[in-house]
Structure 1
Amino acid sequence: MILASIYYSLVKSLIDEIYDQEFLAVSLQKKQIKMETSSLISHIHFLSQEQHLGLLIKDGQINSQIRKEITNRFLNFSQTSTFYDQIRFIQNSGREIIRIDFKNGRSEVVDDNSLQNKKSRYYFKAVSGLQKNQIFVSQLDLKIENGKVERPYKPMVRLGMPVFGDENQRIGMVVVNYLANRFLTVLTETSQINPGEIMLLNGKSYWLKSKNPDDEWGFMFEDKKNRTFANKFPNEWKEISEKQEDQFETDNGLFTFYTINPFFLKNEKQLVQIMNPGDKYWKILSHVPMNYIRSEKISLLYSFLPVFFLLVFLLILGTLIITNISIQKSKKDWELETANQQLENKVSERTKQLSEINKDLAKEIVKHKKTEKKLQKKTNELERSNKELEEFAYIASHDLQEPLRKISSFSKLLEKRSIESLDEEGQKYLEFITSSVARMRTLISELLKYSKVSSSKINFDSVDLNDVIKAVLDDLGMVIKESNTQINFNNLPEIKADKTQMIQLMGNLVSNAIKYYEPGRNGGPKISINAKEEPNQWLVSVQDNGIGIDQSHYEKIFVIFQRLHGRNDFSGTGIGLGVCKKIVERHGGKIWVDSEKDKGSTFYFTIKN
């Protein structure tokens, strides 16, 4: 009963962890999508309020100078954002006046002969009926050209806003086509690190994003009209469609969902108003199949069986010991009964001693069991904590990317459009913003590298260290040439390792040796790379003639974010050697340094042979 209780307690903890993980994944996707759709509203409002746009058409005549100016601004915005398929200004007659297309990674202005009349298109009719500061948002669907769905698929949302002249007369509209693959890709990335399948559904239960691409966009094709989530999971869809958010389990698995109104603005003081969006709401859903939950339970059972058999063995052993002692005691009693009465006191004392020994032995067995359980619990908690920490770093880093992109985009726009109007102090502040964003982006990139080193699968192959060093020399070629660095290596061994991580390891050590060299000393950096065969392993060394490291900092340098020098003295994030340590340890080795201040350093690491 006790063992069964322990096992079921572990199963409950496992299920609770899966539940919490799914809630976190869906919640993060809801936040990501909401941030993205909010930025779309900001962008269309920004473009529609573009300076001088109200002066583009007056008395039916187009001002060519202002048209050229607005075209350049739209082009700059398209090049900076890179996620709008088209940006257009359409006059009241339906004729395109300006159109910017984003193709093959480049933004280009469409010539006058290729401009079209969009009077018959549904979005033109919808925007034509709007008042000032009202925005039209279409449903999320696929781009159609010449009556057919364009391939490869281009998921997009169309947004439009009317434009009024300086005399408050309607002169046209701004319409943009947003490439929705931008946030749909994030759903795919989350599915790769999460046990559940992350999917996005519209209000009619059609898949907008699914693990199976054939299920997606059913409402766009006649032969897929019946391919809906509701048809595949009718009972589950009934519960999902009636609630805003929930988590429940059926015979088909675990379902976790949030309802998101992608273009609903809560703040009544907003400057704009969204009019009848094409999609009233989406459902962000994660589905963990029941087979996955069963397999996790079975894996837990297999890991629990050795503990079960060990406890049974100890119980049997204890029973045998006690039984044997009891038999010996009975024998002694029988012998003592036939012995001289004078020995009775000695026999009684001996029996008492044996009883004390039995009690102590029983106490030790109980103590051993408790210690073993505590140790197993601590081990499980530590493994779960490390995994959660790595996943948190990966997800948090991704969450930080979007605000940085926005800060970078708008600072570039500010620099292009207003740099001449800023005084010297304002330009200095703008430089501070740009450099800070670059440093933060580098830090996030390094943190992601560290997280990927910890979580990615290691592919052990035969790796020639000579080829690894050559790859590093190619990567650092410009730095090596500019710093006049001399690198010596020969006859390095072939080992079993992950080649990509070996290049990353040696690249970090070589680049550090170049970076931490005091210019003007000894004619330039000198780096020597050698390997020595030891029992069951290779000992690899990277020796330099740099500034050296004080012995008190030998351990500190391998901890991430720990720096011995200021950013103005030497560039970097303080993560490089932490990545090196993680790579070596995941290959079953260890890494250390031997150095003397102002006389250079030698980094050693071992790789199993």
Structure 2
Amino acid sequence: MNTTLQSRDPPPALSRRFLLIFLPLSALLITIGVSHYYAEMRLARVSLESNEIQNVALAQKGITSEMRAVISDLTFLAKLNELWDLLDNPNDDTARQNLSQEFLYFSEKKGIYGQIRFLSADGMEIIRINYNEGQPHIVEQSELQNKSDRYYFKEAMAQDIGGVYMSPFDLNVEDGQIENPFRPVIRFATPLFNSRGEKKGVLMFNFRGERLLQSFHLAAPNIDDHLNLINTHGYWLSGPRPEDEWGYFMGRQRSFAKAFPTAWQRIVNENSGSFITEEGLFTFSTTYPMVSVMEFYANAGIGSISSIFDGYQDTSPHFWKIVSHVPTSILNATSQNFFRQNLLLYSLAGLFLLAGSFIVAQAGIRKQLEEAQRSFERRYRDTLENMQLSAVTLNAEGLITFCNDCLLKLTGWRREEVIGKNWFDTFVTPQDRQQAHIAFAEITTGNASPHTIESRITTKSGETLLFSWASTLSFSRLGKISTLTSIGQDITQQHERQERLRKLSQAVEQSRNSVMITDIHGHIEYINPRFTELTGYSAEEVTGKTPRLFKSGETSDTDYAQLWKTIIQGNEWRGVFHNRKKNGEFYWEDTLISPIRNEQSEITHFLAIKEDITEHVRLKQEVEERNQELAKTQTLTAMGRMATMIAHDLRNPLSSIKMTLQIWGKRAEGDWGEEAAEMKQISLDQVRYMETILADLLTFARPDALSPEWLDVKKLLTSAINTTQKELQENGAKITEDYPPQLPTLHGDATKLRQVFSNLIANALDATDDVNHVPQIRIHALMEVNDATPTIRIDICDNGGGIDPGLNGKLFEPFFTTRAKGTGLGLPIVKRILDQHHGQISLHANKRGGTCASVTLPIGPIES
């Protein structure tokens, strides 16, 4: 840029040289003057603020000292022996007179209490001392009053032992009228207790507020003319203008808070400080009268005060603000004094600079003209030659007048081969040559300004390089464009890397696998669109969070720990996750996680490539389930054929045996001996038992199609009970039935459902064989509505010994039984029939002991 300015601009004029000297020196003089001014103002302000802060602190100390003295006096009188005597003996006139004299003497010596009173627990004044303008006297008994209805008496009596009550700072009122002249007053009181710990009354001071205000002003006489004491609500308790004081008590609108609203907002929200506004300098401090007293007693180790109540109903301690206000007019006087004292000095200095700058400019202009031309070429060439970037200078015709070693090294040319040659014919690729000529012409004619461009150039060997150029113009002394100098950088590799990165990014964005990149702590930094499509989470929702957002809870902490151990060590981890989508759905994904390293081989990120294998897992599970069903079906089919063969081969012999026994049974009883009759009956029973087994085998082996009809549930269950009535009677079992009224009808096969419930009742009866009490079977039916589908549930419960919970999964398997008798086909047959009816069955423990079989059947019609 310096070379451009040197070559373009004509020799500087005297006025310009003069301004180059005068303006900086003037700026320096102004800076010194301004710094001097602000230093003086800052010093004056610091001095003023320091003085104001010290005086405000003294004023605060004056208030606090007075308050401590009053509390000290109150606690001192509360400990007088004469007072204790009167508290223990309320009717002792001698004790009352002695205490009255003590109070009178105390009032006369102190001179700061308008009244000292001892009131009984019912509010009656026992003793009252009136100060009476320096003539204290004991009020006669007949003039004593009852104060039980006064707020200050009630608040004082509410204090615990050692507590102190302080009323708000207000004006004294006599006979309902504010005394004139004003008499500010604060009432201090403490409850009194006799030797037995009984609360007997209150000791109360009427503290003369003018004494407090007098101490307040005497403590800071230097700022008395602008010192203010403001209460919690922003009204003056004391101020420079007497007419502003006690405005809140007189119902006036004017207050400090309204007069200075901006300042008051800051004062009321801060404890202390000093600041300047358009209204002047405000220095303030906050005093909490009762808090200050409590802190004093606590720090001094005095334990006579347990609490202090300041007379306000809210719980926060109330405060007074001590404010010093220095008006803007006084602050401005300091600034005016500075200008009066220093204006002449700085005016003379300015005249000296004016004359000196002119002389120096006139002498230096000649030397600059001589040096400028010599240094221009030298600095210009050195700068371009020594830089680590390529540089080339073209004249207005596009001929090369200069090129540095960096450009020659990159392109393979020698300097003598290119100097004086046309840049566009030598370096610019043929396809870009015309466009480059147009751009060059627009710049050299002034129609366009130089700007950063990217263009391709060819090397001596024919290789094409991509350069980024920044150009600047040089002007002759006549103001015409003489040369164009361009500084460029080879960005070929950078452009190739960016192009590869763009292709890789596009491949990741378009990948059908979800891709996620996290930092080394697992915080997500990138997800591709497929990830959002799969999980439902957008990039904004997951960025900065960890993958535990997708946890379903099925992967153990041990597996996660092993995962982290593997990738932290720089190894790849592959595994399968069962994760949760944003909408709560679960999905399976095959995941490959690998570390990403920087140039120093440090792990900086982790890359996770995830493939959704939910459908694959579902199909795999479906194939496994179908294979299991096929194996089971093949087994049952083989068992069915065997059962059919056995039933066919045994049924005819059994029928012959049964017929023979029945024919013999028709013979007269007398023809049979007792033992032979018993053997005959046993044989018949065993034949019937074997027929039942064969019937179960055939039923299981060759299930029949349904013949559904609408059934009355109660009649169906009664029919099933009747089927097993003989066995129930033989075992002495008691059946309890519980059917709700208006139970809906059921669509099903009556014969098969009767077999279901007969089998379940028979099983319940068998379960009570080993109990020592009366077998009981309870049958209960009810209607349920689950997922808007009405069903009928029938519970058949027994009071037997129950079943082993570990056998629940096997009870419905064919031929499984826990008893010596039976085929183990009863419950499988029941389940098969219920499956045909789209029903369900479950076995669970009965709350009263035993087992319950719960059958659930849909009410709607089923296919036959």
> TM-score with structure 1 length normalisation?
0.49
> TM-score with structure 2 length normalisation?
0.35
Compare CA radii of gyration and give the structure with the larger one: 2
User: Which of the pair has the greater relative contact order for Cα pairs under 8 Å at 6+ separation?
Assistant: 1
